[in-house]
Every structure is written in C-alpha cells, then in structure tokens.
Amino acid sequence: MRRKLRWQLTWGIVLVTLITIFLISILANILINHEFSKYAAEQRKIRSQDIISSLSHQYDCGEWDVNYVHGMGMYALYEGYVIKLYDKEGALIWDAENHDMSLCGQIMTDISKRMQESRPYLKGGFSSQEYVLTQKGEEIGTVVIHSYGPYFFSENEFHFLTALHISLLVTSILSLLVALLAGWILARRIADPIVKTVQVASQISAGNYKVQLDEKAKAEELETLAKAMNHMAFSLEQQDALRKRLLTDVAHELYTPLSVAGSHLELILEGIWEPTKERLQDCYEEINRISSLIAEIETLSQVENDNLKLNRAPIDLFALAEVVTRIFESESVKKGISFAIEGDSVVVTADNKRLYQVMVNLLSNAVKYTAKGGRIRIVARETADYGVLTVADNGIGIAPEDLPLIFERFYRTDKSRSHETGGAGIGLTIVKSIVDAHGGKIEVESQVGQGSQFHVFLPKEGIALS
Ligand code: ADP
C-alpha cells in the first residue's frame, strides 16, 4: 500500500534527524570518553608527583613527621592511592595497609569493580610504583605508590561522567521529539497545498471547472502552481462553453433552412401544395443556404487550425481588389451600388487563396449591408510595416456595443435581418483567423447609419512571417 505524502515526508524528516542525532551522540560519547581518559591518566601522574613532593617535605633533620605522613597517607588512600613509606635504610615508616587493612581492601575493591564495569576493555589492575625521595639532592627514603592503572576514575569523576551521559541521552530524546513535531508541521506545510492541488485537479478532470485554488501560498513555486491550475480550469471552462455554444449554434443554423425545405416538400408530397416552380425554388434556396453554411464552417475549421499552412507569395493588393470587385459586379448593378478602387500597387507576401477569401467576405458584407444607391470604396495603401486594404461602405453601420463582438463565431448584430441577408455570422471570424495567421491585424470603424470601414493590415515581406 502506498503511504500518504504527509507521512512519507514526516518519516523522511524524522529518519534524517534520527541518523543525525545518533551520529552526534556516538561522536560526542567517543570524544568525551577519550578526553576524560586522557585527563584521568594525566591526573594519576600529577597526583603521584604531588604525593612524592609532599612526603619529601615531611623529613626534617633525619626525622619523619609521622603524624603528617599518616594524615597525607589517609587522604591519598581515600583518593585511591595506597602508599608505603620507607626511610633511606629501608625501614618502614608508614604503610596504609598496615594501618587499616580492611579500608584499603574496600577502597581497592571499589575502584577495581567500578573500572572493570565501566572500562572492561582496559583490562586494568592495581600496580605498584617505587619512587626515591630526596631533599636538597640527598636521598631521604623511598615511597611505593599502589594505584589502579593505566588510569582510574574517582567516585566523583565517575558520577560526573554518568551525569554527562544521561544529559546527552535526554538531549537526544528531546531533540527527537522536537524533530517529530517539526517534521509533522513541516510535512503538513509542504504536503497540504499539494494535496489540495491534487483534489482540485481531480475535480477539474471530473468536469467541475468552477473549483479554485487559493493563490496565496508561502512558497513562490506553489503560488505559480496554484495560478497555473486556476488558469487551466478557466481555459477549460471557456473551451467547454465555446464547444457547447458552437454545437447549439450549428444545430440552430442548420435546423431553420432544413425545417423550411422539409415542411415545403411534405406539403407537396401530401398533395396539399402544388409543386410550383416558386415553391421548389424556395426549397432549392434553403438547401443552398445549408450547403454554403457547411462550406463556411469547413473553411472556418481550416483557417482556425493552428497549423494552417500558408502558401505565401508576393501579392499585389490593388490587383486583388480589382479581381474580387468583378465578382460582385452583377450584384452591385442589381442593387445600384457603385464600386471605387483607390490607391496604388501594394505588394505583400501572403497566401493568395486566403487573401482572396478575406476580400470576398468583406466585400460581400459591404454589398449586403449597403442600401440601394450606396457606395463602396476599396483602398490599397501601405505603411512602414504593413500593406493595408480598406473596404469602406456607406451602409447601415454597426452599433458601438456590437463592434467588439462581430468577429466572434455566429455573431450577428440583428439576427432576423441577417437571416434575410443570408449570413450565419461566420464570415468575419474567417477573415480574422486568416489575417491573424498572416501575422496581421484588422480594425473597424463604424457609425450606425453612416457606414463601416474595415482596415486589413498585412505585414510586408519578411515581417511577422509565420
Ligand atoms: P454574416 O455572414 O452574418 O454577415 P459576418 O461574420 O460576416 O456574418 O458579420 C457579422 C455581423 O457583423 C453581421 O451579421 C453584421 O451584422 C455585421 N457586419 C459585418 N459587416 C458589416 C458591414 N459592412 N456593415 C454593417 N454591418 C456589418
């Protein structure tokens, strides 16, 4: 079974701390023991020297101050040093063992026991060392010091060492508890935002795009992650809404002409209506409307494809305007609309077929939305970076609130009227996609009742080529 991230982090932190504490404790222990042993061995030498020099002072004019020697000897005995003092002839002056045999035995057993328990590896034991005592360069006697070697701890030193070890142990346990707590808090801090992100991600994958992550995080990376997740949810929501709207719009656009043609044909088949030329013509027009709508949708899906391939070649915008205007000649004559092409030859590097489509869509709109006797102007000009084509009409114009929306799919300013004029609201979306693919831009100026001007900016050679 996989453990939760929070637990994994907590155990990870605790394990690292545990190893660190363990290593520090071992090292501290080794260091303390080593230094303390060194100190004890040094202390043993110093104490022996002390005894020798103190005893040397107790000899005065061939006499030993036996009382003082006794006091000193007892003091040394309690410290773990059993001494025997002889005069220069070898006669015994004072002997700790002679003085108090049982106390000596007791002290020596205690030291041996203590040292063998705490330092069994030393394999230590009691040994005697003989030193010659002198005064002003003259031999006055000898002293035999019997002590535990290579070193030993007095009871106090032993207590001190034990206390040191206990405090080390307590510190380690406390550090471990603190590490456990800190590890838990730290793990929560790291894991919580990740856990929340996972929850949000699974909600998003389940289709709930409304979920939001709190973007205020303590770490910069977590804040970026939260922002990216929220942005992703927002984009997915938009895409989803767009997809749904697109389906509804397409269904709606197809439904109207199909139901008109369908009901006409039904009435004719049932013999209620005569199959007159006008009625069949109506059906034909509705079917035509469906065909052109599907053709437009197909073009739109082609040009909205991110990988739209452009066959770029030098194109004269002025010449293109002349060609496209000719297509609308008969229609303009019928509507009594005049065309004027102004400007000069302007060459841009673009896809001829796609640019042709742009011009057709803009001109067909201009013709559609301009009343009898209107005037349409096409101007070709250039700026430093762009070749510019303007299609201007003095038609019905576009209301300011509609202007930002006219390039959206299926957007029509006045649905019923547009339906009469035959548009589905895709023409300008196609225009914009093509211009965008060329790295260009499109701008509109319009006033209701006065007319509209569409300016298409196309980068000249070598600029913003995709
Ligand atoms: P449609 O096929 O309906 O013309 P478009 O995408 O080409 O769709 O245009 C979107 C809407 O913008 C049209 O329905 C129309 O209301 C408005 N429009 C476009 N061109 C003009 C124009 N030259 N004059 C007035 N309105 C226009």
Per-residue pLDDT of the chain (466 residues; tens, 9 = 90+): 466 888 888 888 889 988 998 999 899 989 998 998 899 999 999 999 999 999 998 888 888 898 999 999 999 999 999 999 999 899 999 999 888 889 999 999 999 998 988 888 888 899 999 999 998 888 999 999 999 988 888 888 889 989 998 998 999 899 889 988 988 898 888 888 888 888 999 998 998 888 888 877 777 888 888 899 899 998 888 888 878 877 888 888 888 889 989 999 999 999 999 999 999 998 999 999 899 889 988 888 888 876 778 899 999 999 999 999 999 988 889 899 999 999 999 999 999 999 999 999 999 999 999 999 999 999 999 999 999 999 999 999 999 999 988 998 878 876 544 455 566 788 999 999 999 999 999 999 999 999 999 999 999 874 444 4
Diameter of the chain measured on Cα atoms:
164
Question: Could you please report the per-residue DSSP string of 296-337?
Answer: HHHHHHHHTSTT----EEEEEHHHHHHHHHHHTHHHHHHHT-
> Does 396 contact ligand 1 (Cβ within 6 A)?
yes
CA of 411 relative to ligand 1 center, distance in Å: 8
pLDDT at 420: 54
> Does 418 contact ligand 1 (Cβ within 6 A)?
yes
pLDDT at 421: 56
CA of 365 relative to ligand 1 center, distance in Å: 6
Rounded Cα distance between 99 and 73, Å, is 10
What are the phi and psi torsion angles at 378 (to 5°)?
A: -120, 125
| Long-range contacts (CB closer than 8 Å, 24 or more residues apart) made by 59-68 | 59/133, 59/135, 59/140, 59/141, 64/93, 64/94, 64/141, 66/93, 66/94
> Does 370 contact ligand 1 (Cβ within 6 A)?
no
Protein residue with its CA nearest to atom 16 in ligand 1? 413
> Does 433 contact ligand 1 (Cβ within 6 A)?
no
> Does 403 contact ligand 1 (Cβ within 6 A)?
no
CA of 392 relative to ligand 1 center, distance in Å: 13
- What number of CA atoms fall less than 13 Å from residue 181's CA on the CB side? 6
How, if at all, do strands 375-382 and 338-343 pair?
Answer: parallel
Helix (H) / strand (E) element for 430: namely helix 427-437
> Does 423 contact ligand 1 (Cβ within 6 A)?
yes
Protein residue with its CA nearest to atom 23 in ligand 1? 366
> Does 289 contact ligand 1 (Cβ within 6 A)?
no
pLDDT at 416: 45
Rounded Cα distance between 421 and 301, Å, is 23
What percent of the residues of the chain are helix, what percent strand, and what percent coil, each to the nearest 5? 60, 20, 25
Rounded Cα distance between 275 and 271, Å, is 9
23 neighbors 102 (Cβ within 8 angstroms) = no
pTM, 2 dp: 0.55
Tokens found for residue 430: 């196609």
Protein residue with its CA nearest to atom 21 in ligand 1? 365
pLDDT at 84: 95
351 neighbors 311 (Cβ within 8 angstroms) = yes
The ligand 1 atom nearest the CA atom of 454: 23
